[in-house]
């Protein structure tokens, strides 16, 4: 973080330190980012692992995530910059290799998340139009988001808010179906306490832990709020409230939606479905045509997934850009398109890596690799993020007493310790349950290593600050 | 008259500022506000191509915006009008238009990208939107065609 203070900051009178992200926008940004990732995609896997009581997995998972969110809130109020976990780890340990590893892990997690979401997008899209092959749909979806990001229309915070409302509306439909079902007297509440111990996980505790592990992808995304830290008004107030508040609301929605789904559709049916929440809508409990409801719900799910994927697609080139400026990856990733002001090389590269993940994943699946691509990529994301989350909590505790000022939010220490243990327990289970996911993690981290070596052997110092060759006229 | 000179950190925005200075009469201009807009939700919220050799911390787009504004403001050093440095946050075109209204500007100076396909096809160019909705005259400074390109 070399900073030469040759440019004086504009003096107070002349500068308008006008920031644009209010606490309310931050709340919706968190909520939208968290809600889109997962519940539409993964609820079937969770139901399969736990049985009717799978809401417990969502409740516990979101609690661990919310505590981690509190650690982020503390660190953001100390260091309100866009770099997130990498910055905190660098402040706490000052070790370049560790910072690099964390940054690359975060990038890899984000890429795997994009992949998982793109596959999830394709499975909902299939209900609208089943002709094109799923791989083609997910690749086209990805390409579209890359183009949108290049043009730079991702900047609309209002669009983000509208998409979040749509997401919540989709989940409200599920809730309403659940309530109608209960009101009609058809609900068997016994199902909510059923934990399936007949499957792979012999004890109830293990089954629930498996459920938390599978559902955890639905809790991720909140870490991306660090992206807007610098532009948030009164971050010391907004972050604790909006980030943790957004997580709690998301958790509440998850628990209620899980209960509604379990009450209306047998967990076995949920478990077998690629687009599980659709089964709830298809159950025909509301007095509307099932076709209409299915179409409406699919569109809502597609919007929800798009909202979250967009944030991941925006994040990847940003991370690459930051690394290029630190001279740890080739300077070409710091290249900004002269008129569009987008990091177009980083964008294309991220799109290419995620696209390759989708192609390789599809090939492995078709070759009988016995993997569920959505689940596998989600697991890769979860493994990498859990390690980062655990480290962020450690960092938060280690940085206590350093860079303190009276506007720093403090998370409760016992809660942080509990959150750390929670993250580690889920991480341990996830790795033991699906050790092959580590191969995928290593493959993605390898991309970072290749970039580092390319810069180390081929790059020259300071490429990051080299400016594009555009000659002004006159 | 209050003139707003917008910068997105590009070389072209520096050319635009120099272009204004090349013909405008400084005695008719009371204030120049150099405005940069940070886009919080974009991949790179702000990039500064103007401060040669300078390195702002990779994590701070706000400092990138401040250094770009300072580089543009330096063009008008000693020219006459009072120079203000302003960094705003939000959607670029909206913020430039809002600034024009707020400061009761008599002219907005913006840079436009190439003349090529990307400007013709891709919607949402900042210069275009400012041109359409600004409350005052707008000077759009385009790059001079240098080499004939394939059509």
**Containing structural domain, residue B87:** 2-141
Q: Is residue B149 part of a domain?
A: no
Higher-confidence residue of A389 and B45: namely: A389
Q: Is residue B126 part of a domain?
A: yes
Burial class of A402 by CB neighbour count within 10 A (0 to 12, 13 to 18, 19+): exposed
pLDDT given at position A258: 92
Which H/E stretch holds residue B107? strand B107-111
CA distance linking residue B47 with residue A308, whole number of Å: 24
Please name the member of A3, A10, A473 whose beta carbon is closest to the beta carbon of B55: A3
Residue B97's nearest CA partner among B45, B70, B136, B65 is B136
Higher-confidence residue of B38 and A406: namely: B38
pLDDT digits (tens, 9 = 90+) for A262-279: 999 888 888 888 778 888
First to last CA, chain A: 36
- CA distance to partner chain A, nearest, from residue B129 (Å): 13
Q: Which residues of A touch B62 (CB under 8 A)?
A: 230-231
Q: Cβ(A333)–Cβ(A316) under 8 Å?
A: no
Whose structure tokens read 């984000």?
A: A110
CA distance linking residue A218 with residue A243, whole number of Å: 15
Q: Is residue B102 part of a domain?
A: yes
Q: At what angle do helices A204-215 and A55-78 cross, to 10 degrees?
A: 50
Q: Cβ(B5)–Cβ(B109) under 8 Å?
A: yes
CATH topology of domain A23-465: Amino acid/polyamine transporter I (1.20.1740)
Question: Do A467 and B114 count as a contact with CB atoms less than 8 A apart?
Answer: no
CA distance linking residue A435 with residue A47, whole number of Å: 21
Q: Which residues of A touch B54 (CB under 8 A)?
A: 4, 6-7, 465
Q: Cβ(B138)–Cβ(B130) under 8 Å?
A: yes
- CA distance to partner chain B, nearest, from residue A266 (Å): 41
Q: Cβ(A16)–Cβ(B86) under 8 Å?
A: yes
Residue B53's nearest CA partner among A321, A455, A463 is A463
User: Number of Cβ pairs closer than 8 Å across A and B?
Assistant: 185
Question: Do A342 and B15 count as a contact with CB atoms less than 8 A apart?
Answer: no
The number of folded domains in chain B is: 1
Residue B21's nearest CA partner among B74, B87, B65 is B74
- CA distance to partner chain B, nearest, from residue A270 (Å): 35
Q: Is residue B150 part of a domain?
A: no
> What CATH number is associated with residue B55?
3.40.50.620
| Distance from the Cα of residue A6 to its chain's centroid | 38
Of A91-100, A117-126, A194-203, A216-225, the range with the lowest mean pLDDT is A194-203
Which H/E stretch holds residue B6? strand B2-7
pLDDT digits (tens, 9 = 90+) for A284-315: 788 888 888 888 888 988 998 998 899 899 99
Higher-confidence residue of A464 and B31: namely: B31
Q: Cβ(B29)–Cβ(B3) under 8 Å?
A: yes
Q: Cβ(A440)–Cβ(A112) under 8 Å?
A: yes
Domain ranges of chain A: 23-465
Q: Cβ(B141)–Cβ(B23) under 8 Å?
A: no
| Highest-confidence segment of A190-199, A254-263, B137-146 | A254-263
Q: How would residue A118 be classed by pLDDT, with cut points 50, 70 and 90?
A: very high
pLDDT tens across the length of chain B (151 residues): 999 999 999 888 999 999 999 999 999 999 999 999 999 888 888 988 888 655 555 558 888 999 999 999 999 999 999 999 999 998 888 999 999 999 999 999 998 875 555 555 554 578 888 989 999 999 998 877 666 555 4
Gyration radius of chain B over CA positions: 15
CA distance linking residue B101 with residue B98, whole number of Å: 5
Question: Do B90 and A343 count as a contact with CB atoms less than 8 A apart?
Answer: no
Q: Which residues of B touch A342 (CB under 8 A)?
A: 42-44
Question: Do B44 and A321 count as a contact with CB atoms less than 8 A apart?
Answer: yes
Higher-confidence residue of A151 and A323: namely: A323
Q: Is residue B146 part of a domain?
A: no
């Amino acid at each position: 973080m070399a900073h030469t203070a040759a440019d004086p900051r504009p003096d107070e009178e002349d500068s308008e330190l006008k920031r644009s992200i209010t606490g309310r926008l931050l709340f919706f940004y968190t909520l939208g980012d968290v809600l889109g990732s997962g519940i539409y995609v993964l609820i079937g896997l969770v139901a399969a692992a736990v049985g009717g009581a799978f809401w417990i997995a969502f409740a516990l998972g979101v609690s661990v995530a919310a505590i981690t969110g509190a650690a982020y809130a503390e660190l953001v109020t100390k260091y309100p910059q866009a770099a997130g976990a990498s910055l905190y780890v660098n402040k706490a340990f000052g070790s370049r290799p560790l910072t690099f590893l964390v940054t690359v892990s975060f990038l890899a997690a984000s890429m795997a998340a994009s992949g998982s979401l793109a596959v999830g997008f394709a499975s909902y899209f299939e209900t609208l139009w089943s002709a094109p092959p799923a791989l083609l749909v997910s690749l086209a979806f990805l390409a579209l988001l890359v183009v949108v990001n290049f043009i730079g229309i991702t900047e609309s915070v209002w669009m983000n808010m509208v998409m979040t409302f749509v997401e919540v509306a989709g989940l409200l439909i599920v809730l309403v179906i659940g309530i109608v079902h209960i009101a009609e007297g058809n609900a068997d509440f016994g199902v909510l306490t059923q934990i399936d111990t007949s499957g792979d996980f012999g004890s109830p505790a293990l089954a629930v832990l498996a459920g938390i592990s599978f559902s955890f992808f639905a809790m991720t995304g909140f870490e991306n709020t660090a992206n807007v830290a610098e532009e948030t008004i009164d971050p010391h107030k907004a972050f604790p409230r909006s980030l943790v508040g957004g997580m709690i609301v998301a958790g509440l929605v998850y628990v209620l939606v899980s209960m509604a789904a379990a009450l209306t559709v047998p967990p076995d049916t949920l478990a077998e479905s690629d687009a599980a929440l659709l089964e709830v809508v298809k159950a025909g409990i509301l007095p509307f045509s099932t076709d209409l409801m299915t179409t409406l719900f699919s569109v809502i799910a597609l919007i929800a997934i798009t909202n979250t994927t967009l944030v991941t697609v925006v994040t990847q080139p940003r991370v690459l850009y930051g690394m290029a400026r630190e001279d740890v990856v080739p300077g070409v990733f710091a290249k900004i398109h002269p008129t569009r002001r987008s990091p177009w090389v980083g964008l294309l590269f991220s799109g290419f890596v995620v696209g390759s993940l989708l192609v390789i994943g599809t090939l492995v699946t078709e070759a009988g690799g016995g993997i569920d691509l959505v689940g596998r990529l989600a697991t890769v994301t979860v493994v990498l993020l859990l390690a980062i989350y655990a480290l962020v909590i450690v960092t938060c505790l280690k940085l206590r007493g350093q860079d303190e000022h009276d506007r720093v939010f403090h998370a409760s220490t016992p809660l942080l310790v509990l959150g750390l243990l929670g993250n580690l327990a889920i991480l341990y289970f996830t790795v033991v349950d699906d050790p092959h996911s580590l191969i995928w993690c290593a493959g993605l981290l390898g991309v970072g290593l290749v970039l580092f070596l390319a810069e180390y052997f081929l790059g020259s110092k300071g490429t990051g600050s080299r400016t594009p060759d555009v000659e002004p006229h006159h | 008259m209050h003139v707003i000179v917008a910068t997105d950190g590009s070389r072209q925005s520096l050319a635009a500022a120099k272009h204004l200075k090349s013909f405008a009469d400084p005695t008719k201009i009371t204030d120049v506000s150099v405005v940069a807009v940070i886009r919080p939700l974009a991949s790179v919220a702000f990039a500064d191509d103007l401060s040669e050799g300078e390195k702002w911390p990779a994590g701070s787009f706000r400092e990138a915006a401040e250094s770009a504004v300072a580089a543009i403001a330096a063009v008008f050093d000693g020219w006459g009008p009072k120079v203000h440095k302003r960094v705003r946050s939000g959607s670029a075109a909206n913020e430039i238009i809002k600034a024009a209204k707020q400061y009761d500007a008599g002219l907005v100076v913006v840079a436009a990208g190439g003349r090529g396909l990307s400007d013709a096809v891709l919607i949402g160019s900042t210069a275009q939107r400012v041109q359409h909705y600004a409350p005052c005259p707008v000077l759009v400074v385009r790059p001079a065609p240098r080499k004939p390109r394939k059509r």
